[in-house]
Chain A
């Protein structure tokens, strides 16, 4: 149920990102799609993908906003030092508390979590028929991940081909 709501939200936001005229609003809408995808990964119990999605999304958003804003935003720090200091201390304290709680949950060094890996190692060959377990994981158990990687490369090639055209499409039309 939550997943379907999220998917609906993502589709609507993506349409907004395409249709809206203002470039910055479009970037913000794209960011909303990315964060919704991150939550969707969490619901589907894929935390590693969620972390990757979150980090990449933040980086892309920063670069895109940097590219779309023409001039620097003013940074006002005078007369606000009390609020700034208090908020910084509060956020550092909250971060340290959650980091401590999370690090306590991690297994000891040298004791890997074998719950998923064990299944792959034991049943990989019998379930996929592939002797090379790395291939069995990337093309069978985690094939969706590989599809995403291939798409990343495809997008990169398309971008390079678009940037490296010797002459633009407009000039060719003018010559004709």
Chain B
């Protein structure tokens, strides 16, 4: 990576981060997808996904992330998550009422079961994860612009 020499923490931290950050991200996705089967769900999984990116930012310096994900992109993604959740809520009107679970329930204990609940979990995780990451990003950018002055 081009950012290794310029900014961030020491080589040890960077190496360990490179090894662990993928695992943290996968664990977050697992928590979100299995929200209707095991403890967890959109809120917890979204926070874990956001923490994976925060971890990356702490270890490699802010440029490693801010050049790829801008603040505008983060807030747009968050809005998309919120709209997705609302759309899932409105889908219920096809069956009669707000938030009605009209998709097929499937068999319990399977990944693709329980209708709209996994979809809601995914929408909430996008909203929560990107939202928290956007707050962190805003704080970092503010701190950076203060230092430039």
Give the complex CA separation of A164 and B38 in angstroms. Answer: 37
> Which of B1-9, B10-18, B52-60, B106-114 is near enough to bind chain A?
B106-114
Main secondary structure of the interface of B (DSSP, over half): helix
Give the complex CA separation of A147 and B90 in angstroms. Answer: 12
Residue numbers in A under 8 Å from B99 (CB-CB): 140, 143-144, 147
Give the complex CA separation of A64 and B124 in angstroms. Answer: 30
| A139-B108 in contact (CB<8A) | no
Give the complex CA separation of A153 and B134 in angstroms. Answer: 12
8 Å CB contacts to A: which residues of B101-149? Answer: 101, 105-109, 113-117, 120-121, 124, 127-128, 131-132, 134-135, 138-139, 141-142, 145-146
Which residue on chain A has the smallest CB distance to residue B78? Answer: A157
| A154-B37 in contact (CB<8A) | no
Most chain B CB inside 10 Å of its own CB: which residue of A128, A130, A160, A166? A130
Which residue on chain B has the smallest CB distance to residue A160? Answer: B135
Which 7 A/B pairs are nearest by Cβ-Cβ distance? A129-B105, A129-B114, A166-B145, A130-B36, A130-B114, A143-B99, A157-B131
CB 8 Å contact bits of A135-160 with B (1 = contact, 0 = none) = 11011100110110011011001101
| B89-A143 in contact (CB<8A) | yes
| B75-A161 in contact (CB<8A) | yes
- Check A167 for interface membership: any CB of B closer than 8 A: yes
- Check A132 for interface membership: any CB of B closer than 8 A: yes
The answer, among A125, A140, A146, A167, for a CB contact under 8 Å with B145, is A167
Residue numbers in A under 8 Å from B116 (CB-CB): 139
Give the complex CA separation of A143 and B88 in angstroms. Answer: 11
| A140-B78 in contact (CB<8A) | no
- Check B82 for interface membership: any CB of A closer than 8 A: yes
8 Å CB contacts to A: which residues of B17-38? Answer: 35-38
Give the complex CA separation of A166 and B128 in angstroms. Answer: 23
State whether A164 and B139 are in contact (beta carbons under 8 Å apart), knowing that A150-B127, A154-B127 are contacts in the complex.
yes
Give the complex CA separation of A140 and B109 in angstroms. Answer: 17
CB distance from B11 to the nearest CB of A (A): 31
Size class of the contact patch on chain B? 35 or more
CB distance from B50 to the nearest CB of A (A): 11
8 Å CB contacts to B: which residues of A45-72? Answer: none
The answer, among A129, A138, A140, A165, for a CB contact under 8 Å with B41, is A138
| B142-A135 in contact (CB<8A) | no
Give the complex CA separation of A161 and B101 in angstroms. Answer: 34
The answer, among B78, B108, B113, B145, for a CB contact under 8 Å with A154, is B78
State whether A139 and B105 are in contact (beta carbons under 8 Å apart), knowing that A147-B85, A147-B89, A157-B78 are contacts in the complex.
no
Residue numbers in B under 8 Å from A139 (CB-CB): 35-36, 41-42, 116-117, 120-121
| B109-A166 in contact (CB<8A) | no
Give the complex CA separation of A96 and B122 in angstroms. Answer: 48
| B105-A128 in contact (CB<8A) | yes
| B98-A129 in contact (CB<8A) | no
CB 8 Å contact bits of A94-138 with B (1 = contact, 0 = none) = 000000000000000000000000000000010011111011101
